[in-house]
Structure 1
Amino acid sequence: MGTNPINAGDTAWVLASSALVLLMTAPGLALFYGGMVRRKNVLGVLMQCFVCLALVSVLWVVYGYGLAFGKGSPFMGGLDWFMLKGVGQDPNPDYAGTIPHLAFMIFQAMFAVITPALIIGSFAERMKFPAFLAFTGLWLTFVYCPIAHMVWGVGGFLRGMGALDFAGGTVVHINAGIAGLVTALYLGKRVGVGKPGMHNVPFVVLGASLLWFGWFGFNAGSALAANGLAAHAFVTTNTATAMAVLSWCVMEWIFTGKPTTLGAASGAVAGLVAITPACGFVDIVGALWIGALVSVFCFFMVSVVKPKLGYDDTLDAFGVHAIGGFWGAMAVGLFATKLVNSAGADGLLLGNPGQVWIQFIACATTIAYTAIATFVICFVVDKVIGIRVAQEEEIMGLDLTQHHERAYTILD
Structure 2
Amino acid sequence: FNISGVVHVCGGVAAFVAATVMGPRIGRFDKETGQPEEIKGHSVPLAALGGFILIFGFLAFNGSSQGSISNPGDGAAVATAIKNTVMSATSGAFTTMFMNKLPWFGDRKWSFATTLNGALAGMVAICAGCNQMETYAAFLIGIGGGVSYMITTWLVLFKLKVDDPLDACAVHYGGGVWGVISVGLLSRDVGILYKWNAEAALTLVWQITSLVAIIAWTGALCFVMFFLLKKFNLLRVSFEWEVKGLDIPKHGEPAYPAEAYGHGWGEKGDTLFTMVGRPPVFLPSPSDVAPQIYPWVVRVCNLMAQIKPIFEIRTYFKCILCYFIV
Query: Cα distance 1:238–1:195, how it changes in 2: closer, same or farther (>3 A)?
Result: closer
Instruction: Give, in whole Å, the separation in 1 of the partners of 2:225 and 2:113.
Output: 32
Match of 1:197 in 2: 40
Query: Cα distance 1:358–1:304, how it changes in 2: closer, same or farther (>3 A)?
Result: closer
Do residues 254 (structure 1) and 102 (structure 2) align?
A: yes
Q: Report deviation, 1:279.
A: 0.5
CA offsets 1:324-358 (integer angstroms, 9 cap, x no match) = 100001011101122xxxxxx34344212221111
Instruction: Give, in whole Å, the separation in 2 of the partners of 1:197 and 1:331.
Output: 35
Q: 366, 373, 376: which one pairs with 2:214?
A: 366
* Unmatched tracts of structure 2, length 5 or more: 29-36, 263-326
Instruction: Give, in whole Å, the separation in 2 of the partners of 1:222 and 1:365.
Output: 23
Match of 2:52 in 1: 209
- Give the share of equivalent positions with the same residue, in percent: 32
One-letter code aligned to 2:27:
G
Instruction: Give, in whole Å, the separation in 2 of the partners of 1:292 and 1:346.
Output: 18
Match of 2:147 in 1: 296
Instruction: Give, in whole Å, the separation in 2 of the partners of 1:299 and 1:383.
Output: 33
Q: Report deviation, 1:210.
A: 0.9
Match of 1:43 in 2: none
Match of 2:323 in 1: none
CA offsets 1:107-148 (integer angstroms, 9 cap, x no match) = xxxxxxxxxxxxxxxxxxxxxxxxxxxxxxxxxxxxxxxxxx
One-letter code aligned to 1:295:
G
Q: 284, 299, 319: which one pairs with 2:170?
A: 319
Do residues 350 (structure 1) and 175 (structure 2) align?
A: no
Instruction: Give, in whole Å, the separation in 1 of the partners of 2:158 and 2:254.
Output: 31
Question: Residue 276 of structure 1: SS of its match in structure 2?
Answer: helix
- Greater relative contact order, per chain length (Cα 8 Å cut-off, separation 6+): 1
Q: 138, 147, 161: which one pairs with 1:310?
A: 161
Instruction: Give, in whole Å, the separation in 2 of the partners of 1:208 and 1:216.
Output: 13
Larger Rg: 2
Q: Report deviation, 1:380.
A: 3.2
CA offsets 1:343-381 (integer angstroms, 9 cap, x no match) = xx3434421222111100111100000000111112333
Instruction: Give, in whole Å, the separation in 2 of the partners of 1:210 and 1:396.
Output: 29
Matched-pair contact (CA < 8 Å) for 2:229–2:235: yes
Query: Cα distance 1:354–1:199, how it changes in 2: closer, same or farther (>3 A)?
Result: same
Do residues 168 (structure 1) and 17 (structure 2) align?
A: no
One-letter code aligned to 2:87:
T
Q: Report deviation, 1:254.
A: 3.1
Match of 2:299 in 1: none
Q: 242, 246, 256: which one pairs with 1:408?
A: 256
CA offsets 1:288-333 (integer angstroms, 9 cap, x no match) = 1100121112112214552232111111111111011000010111
The 5 A counterparts of 1:213-292 are 213-226=56-69, 227=74, 228-255=76-103, 256-292=107-143
Matched-pair contact (CA < 8 Å) for 1:174–1:366: yes
Instruction: Give, in whole Å, the separation in 2 of the partners of 1:408 and 1:189.
Output: 26
Matched-pair contact (CA < 8 Å) for 2:80–2:130: yes
Match of 2:305 in 1: none
Q: Report deviation, 1:250.
A: 1.3
Do residues 397 (structure 1) and 245 (structure 2) align?
A: yes
Instruction: Give, in whole Å, the separation in 2 of the partners of 1:169 and 1:304.
Output: 21
Question: Residue 216 of structure 1: SS of its match in structure 2?
Answer: helix
Structure-2-length-normalised TM-score: 0.70
The 5 A counterparts of 1:149-168 are 166-168=1-3
Query: Cα distance 1:174–1:249, how it changes in 2: closer, same or farther (>3 A)?
Result: same
Q: Report deviation, 1:400.
A: 2.4
One-letter code aligned to 1:307:
F
Instruction: Give, in whole Å, the separation in 1 of the partners of 2:206 and 2:253.
Output: 49
Q: Say what the alpha-carbon RMSD is for the aligned residues.
A: 1.8
CA offsets 1:204-233 (integer angstroms, 9 cap, x no match) = 111111111111111111011222111110
Instruction: Give, in whole Å, the separation in 2 of the partners of 1:218 and 1:309.
Output: 33
Instruction: Give, in whole Å, the separation in 2 of the partners of 1:167 and 1:399.
Output: 39
Instruction: Give, in whole Å, the separation in 2 of the partners of 1:304 and 1:368.
Output: 19
Match of 1:30 in 2: none
One-letter code aligned to 1:254:
L
Match of 1:53 in 2: none
Instruction: Give, in whole Å, the separation in 2 of the partners of 1:302 and 1:379.
Output: 24
Match of 1:3 in 2: none
Matched-pair contact (CA < 8 Å) for 1:233–1:280: yes
Query: Cα distance 1:167–1:409, how it changes in 2: closer, same or farther (>3 A)?
Result: farther
One-letter code aligned to 1:239:
M
Query: Cα distance 1:174–1:370, how it changes in 2: closer, same or farther (>3 A)?
Result: same
Matched-pair contact (CA < 8 Å) for 1:183–1:374: yes
One-letter code aligned to 1:386:
L
One-letter code aligned to 2:65:
S
One-letter code aligned to 1:202:
P
* Unmatched tracts of structure 1, length 5 or more: 1-165, 339-344
Matched-pair contact (CA < 8 Å) for 2:22–2:230: no
Do residues 188 (structure 1) and 23 (structure 2) align?
A: yes
